[in-house]
Amino acid sequence: MSDRYRVGVVGARGYTGAELLRLLDGHANLDITHAGSRELAGQSVPELEGLKFESLDPEALASRGLDAIFLALPDGLSESFVGAASAETVIVDISSDHRWDPKWSYGLPELYRDKIEGSRRIANPGCYATAMQISVAPFLDILSGTPAVFGVSGYSGAGTTSSPRNDPEKLANNLMPYKLVGHNHEREASHHLGHEVRFMPHVHPAFRGLITTSHIPVTASVSAADARSRLEERYAGEPLIEFQTEAPDLQDGAGRLGVLVGGVESSEDGHNIVLVAAEDNLLKGAAVQAVQNLNLALGMPEFSGIL
């Protein structure tokens, strides 16, 4: 491909922003022309020669005429940038601000790819919501009740703003439950699957990595082998969805580009399936998925700059 596109990252100082810059820098068809950060404005972007952090307001950024903008901002801060941008500019919003907006494409390619292609407004999924939907989607037609998902992530998922969930002292030798009812990713996964899911999130003292264990009640009697076949058939040809026999550990997700699924088992009566999914909360849970979405929006090979 000969086309080149100019892209910017707003919120480039954060963990996800840093991963985005790294991936975009290795993309053959993209030029990073803006790295937004108020705190680091004027400083050089590490490992990106010639690029400095800038602090631009939404109108100033829109005047740059970028082909695409990634919004790696905390929830609730995206709207001014969206409002100022041209309708032709691709916006990939990594916050939760537009995940329920029907005017935006929901960017989980392995499940909703056809709605992302050519889109100019894409809501990137949450990290946990990605693993939950990948796990539950192949069984939607035979669900007999509400899937329950136990999740654990590294503390980078809590962002850079200081809180108990990213305090190394509070997390040391600890496992911290939080938001056990009504978590955003529970609502998000339930909404897009069209079926209620229950979710119990926890934070682990590791920096990165994410794991979910899903208990899925089904109407038919399903063996473990049949459950594995359903998953493998649903994601056949998906290079970012991998399978193994044993259950993955949280560290198996750290640094992984996609989702690793394993530990698929069935209860004695065949009416309850359990499986484990591991991913990196900053990669497939955020930055990798955002690049997938941009590639699809601009008509480039989906895995350019990723694989």
pLDDT for res 70: 98
What pLDDT digit, counting tens, does each position of 120-170 carry?
Answer: 999 999 999 999 999 999 999 999 999 999 999 999 987 777 788 888 888
**Mean pLDDT value across residues 94-109:** 97
Quick check: 76 and 94 in contact, CB under 8 A?
no
- Are 150 and 258 contained in the same domain? yes
- Are 108 and 15 contained in the same domain? yes
Is 235 an annotated catalytic residue?
no
- Are 156 and 182 contained in the same domain? yes
What pLDDT digit, counting tens, does each position of 185-202 carry?
Answer: 999 999 999 999 999 999
pLDDT for res 2: 55
- Are 274 and 132 contained in the same domain? yes
**Mean pLDDT value across residues 75-92:** 97
- Are 152 and 246 contained in the same domain? yes
Rounded Cα gap, residues 190 and 97, in angstroms: 16
Q: What is each CA distance from 131 to 61, 64, 209, in whole angstroms?
A: 33, 36, 12
The lowest-confidence range among 96-105, 164-173, 230-239 is: 164-173
What band does 271 get if pLDDT is binned at 50, 70 and 90? very high
pLDDT for res 32: 97
> Domain for residue 307, yes or no?
no
pLDDT for res 157: 82
- Are 49 and 133 contained in the same domain? no
- Residue 141 CB neighbours (<10 A): 10
Domain count, the chain: 2
Mean pLDDT over each residue of the chain, to the nearest integer: 96
- What residues make up the domain containing 77? 5-125+285-298
pTM: 0.95
Q: Taking every pair of C-alpha atoms in the chain, what is the biggest distance, in angstroms?
A: 63
- Are 264 and 291 contained in the same domain? no
**Mean pLDDT value across residues 228-243:** 98
> Domain for residue 304, yes or no?
no
- Are 291 and 165 contained in the same domain? no
Q: What is each CA distance from 218 to 131, 137, 282, in whole angstroms?
A: 19, 12, 32
- Are 65 and 191 contained in the same domain? no
Tell me which residue of 209, 181, 186 sits closest to 197, measured CA to CA.
Answer: 186
Tell me which residue of 213, 210, 214 sits closest to 152, measured CA to CA.
Answer: 210
- Are 164 and 192 contained in the same domain? yes
What pLDDT digit, counting tens, does each position of 1-33 carry?
Answer: 458 999 999 999 999 999 999 999 999 999 999
Q: At 35, which CATH number?
A: 3.40.50.720
- Are 253 and 289 contained in the same domain? no
What pLDDT digit, counting tens, does each position of 106-121 carry?
Answer: 999 999 999 999 999 9
Token pair of 36 as six digits: 């937004």
- Are 190 and 88 contained in the same domain? no
pLDDT for res 1: 45
> Domain for residue 228, yes or no?
yes
Q: At 215, which CATH number?
A: 3.30.360.10
Q: Which among 127, 189, 231, 294 is annotated as catalytic?
A: 127
> Domain for residue 36, yes or no?
yes
**Mean pLDDT value across residues 65-79:** 96
The helix or strand, by DSSP H or E, that contains position 116, with its residue range, turns out to be helix 109-116
